[in-house]
Amino acid sequence: MVKKLIYIVFVFFGFIATAQIPKDKVAVDVSVFPKETVALSINSEVLLAGELLQYKAYILNPSKRKSLLSKVAYVSLRNQKDSLVFNHKVKVENGTANGDFFLPSNLKTGVYRLIGYTNFSKNNNQDSFAEKTIHIINTFKKNEILNTVQDTIVLSASTGINIENSGSDGSSEGFEIIVNKQTFGFREKVDLQLKSNINNTNGNYRLSVRKVNPVEIAGDVLNAKTISSKNFYVPELRGELISGVVLSKSGDVPSANREVALTIPGKDFVYKIAKTNSEGRFFFSVSEGYDSEKSIVQLYGDEAARRDLKVVLDEKDFHLSQGEPYYLKLNKELKKWLEERSVQLQVENAYYDVKKDSILKNKTNAMFYDNLGTVFFLDDYTRFPSVRETFIEVITLAAIRGTGDNARFIVNNEYDPNRIAKFNDIDPLVLVDGILIQDNADLINYNARDIKSVRVVNEPYRYGSKIYSGIIAVETKNGNFGTNLSHDYLSEIAMPPLIKEKKYYRPDYSNKEVQARIPDYRVQLFWEPNIQLTDGSYSTTFYTSDVSGTYEISIEGFSEDGNYILSKDFFKVSD
């Protein structure tokens, strides 16, 4: 199905796909595309400022099995005015994605919406996005006192906790949850085992162990999952799609066969070239990992074209209609719990440095030119004050010819010393920290002492639709070359990276002397967004904290057959 979909996309859109296409430009019945939906799972629907909101997104096909289309999902937390608290791009692997967000102390107490979607799911008339209602309490700010009960969500102290195990339909179907006992002391080891009660044991599940909030919620928030758009959104099959259109500055007329360059700066930068189609549209598919928050897009071509044209990028944000204002009212009987939990959170956050999660690094991107050419590390040579002198004395495989506006870079091909080959009249590709250099003065006038290395590929090279006489790739010491560039044809855009995967902090109290003096007020004892079943079972261990109460073990997800599974069990922690 995936291969068939790719074929349909590229055939009907003339080998040019964009993140979004006006529906009146789509020449096929879009109903041939399979539907894709998103489901969300969270660690709690009631959270305090200073806590971690943890989530998992399931990307599903119409039969609720994992979808293999989209490779990027979007998760955002919004207030009821649709203002963003955060907007995450998360990598989809095996049909799932996960992330978290630390709730800051400047958030107002209120009702928030957690939204999850893919670029492709936005095409759905119904269920275009998943939504979870999050009730956030900020104990650091005074809550509004309301005289009305209309459109009010009331949080009050719970009268009791239902500790019966429940499955996907309220029964014990799903998983059998086994713990080594039902009551634990502080900082005691818990042995947890899961055994599947279903025939097909494979699937995507998350496991959460968290203290049950002593809160009851009265009132419902009406959520509308319908949107209307004039665009058709293409699935991000290989990675994030960055798309746009090249227009004339006068009249906004689309310009075909124009080249656009994208650079995502960094030590292992990402560089791509795209060409516009007959409608002036272009796209970049970014499958590589990156760390930079900013990227550079520039119109490629002669000076006249750059002067008369402009690049307009498609907006990736997902705007929803503003919901009705729901107010969050806290009953007075919650005061003691909120005061106690607020103190615990402040103590926990004070010890953040010794309890922080481990962030996993992105895989290093291989440069498109790989290890071709020769690298000149300038600290290995006598340093010269100017770039021109450095190319004369050190960079023997390349040179600068001409002066002023006529200055240009060339590469010296050892097999063509007389420069009679047909590629010699073509300029080389010149990059500085991955940024395309079209005005050679930008590099020639740069401080040579800030350059770390120069790589020269002194033979013809084809990249995208362009052929070059070679490559000159310059790496600066600080990697910040693009911060000082300013041209009409060049734009810096906000392009936050994908959320990095984490290994969550888990204390080990097997040696009681270790961390004995460090307080432990965790209420989220365990969170594993992707549990791996072996022969239908899973086992793990974790330690309780210094917080007494009833804790819920919850496993949630979808089986390989598309069945929704939710199984719960409970245990107690006391001194």
Cα(273)–Cα(304) distance, rounded to whole angstroms?
19
Question: pLDDT tens for residues 44-92?
Answer: 999 999 999 999 999 999 999 999 899 999 999 998 787 889 999 999 9
By three-state DSSP, how is residue 133 classified?
A: strand
Number of domains in the chain: 3
In a domain, 22, yes or no: no
In a domain, 491, yes or no: no
pLDDT band at 558 (very low <50, low <70, confident <90, very high): very high
Share of the chain above pLDDT 70, in %: 85
Cα(214)–Cα(163) distance, rounded to whole angstroms?
13
Amino acid at 193: Q
Residues 220 and 232 in one domain: no
Q: Is pLDDT above 80 for 176?
A: yes
DSSP code string of 204-265: EEEEEEEEPPSEEEES----------SEEEPP-SSSEEEEEEEEETTT--B-SS-EEEEEE-
> Span 496-519, mean pLDDT?
84
Burial tier of 476 (Cβ tally within 10 Å: 0-12, 13-18, 19+): middle
Cα(73)–Cα(98) distance, rounded to whole angstroms?
9
In a domain, 152, yes or no: yes
In a domain, 160, yes or no: yes
Domain end marker among 461, 486, 511: 486
Residues 433 and 300 in one domain: no
Average pLDDT in the chain: 85
By three-state DSSP, how is residue 299 classified?
A: strand
Residues 236 and 204 in one domain: no
pLDDT band at 151 (very low <50, low <70, confident <90, very high): confident
Range name among 230-234, 284-288, 291-295, 398-402 with the lowest pLDDT average:
230-234
In a domain, 495, yes or no: no
In a domain, 286, yes or no: yes
Q: Is pLDDT above 80 for 431?
A: yes
Residue 79: per-residue pLDDT = 86
Are the C-beta atoms of 455 and 425 separated by less than 8 Å?
no
Residues 476 and 512 in one domain: no
Residue 570: per-residue pLDDT = 95
Residue 93: per-residue pLDDT = 92
Range name among 1-15, 278-292, 529-543, 545-559 with the lowest pLDDT average:
1-15
Q: Is pLDDT above 50 for 490?
A: yes
> Span 138-154, mean pLDDT?
70
Cα(203)–Cα(184) distance, rounded to whole angstroms?
31
Residues 275 and 337 in one domain: no
Residue 350 to residues 288, 520, 521, Cα–Cα distance (Å): 36, 11, 11
Share of the chain above pLDDT 90, in %: 51
pTM attached to this predicted model: 0.88
Of 468, 475, 467, residue with least CA distance to 375? 475
Residues 249 and 217 in one domain: no
Residues 190 and 332 in one domain: yes
CATH of the domain at 13: 2.60.40
In a domain, 79, yes or no: yes
> Span 278-305, mean pLDDT?
89
> Span 518-530, mean pLDDT?
94
CATH of the domain at 396: 2.170.130.10
Of 361, 96, 118, residue with least CA distance to 206? 96
Structure tokens that stand for 568 in this block: 């719960």
Residue 573: per-residue pLDDT = 95
Q: Is pLDDT above 50 for 165?
A: no
By three-state DSSP, how is residue 347 classified?
A: helix
In a domain, 512, yes or no: yes
Residues 132 and 79 in one domain: yes
Which residues lie closer than 8 Å to 61 by C-beta, 6 or more apart? 34, 35, 36, 37, 67, 69
Of 112, 44, 49, residue with least CA distance to 342? 49
C-alpha gyration radius of the chain: 28
Domain end marker among 441, 456, 486: 486
Are the C-beta atoms of 474 and 428 separated by less than 8 Å?
no
Q: In 3-state terms, the chain is what percent helix, strand and coil (to 5)?
A: 15, 40, 50
- Any long-range contacts for 245-248 (C-beta under 8 Å, 24+ apart)? 245/276, 245/279, 245/280, 245/281, 245/282, 245/311, 245/312, 245/314, 246/276, 246/280, 246/282, 246/299, 246/309, 246/310, 246/311, 246/312, 247/280, 247/309, 247/310, 247/312, 248/308, 248/309, 248/310
Residues 335 and 216 in one domain: yes
Question: pLDDT tens for residues 198-224?
Answer: 766 678 999 999 999 998 888 777 666
Residues 155 and 84 in one domain: yes
By three-state DSSP, how is residue 261 classified?
A: strand
Residues 471 and 383 in one domain: yes
> Span 137-143, mean pLDDT?
84
84: domain range? 34-225+320-362+503-573
Q: Is pLDDT above 60 for 10?
A: no
Cα(391)–Cα(454) distance, rounded to whole angstroms?
10
Counted residue by residue, the chain has a size of: 575
Domain end marker among 486, 512, 539: 486
CATH of the domain at 40: 2.60.40.10
Residues 72 and 178 in one domain: yes
Residue 344: per-residue pLDDT = 93
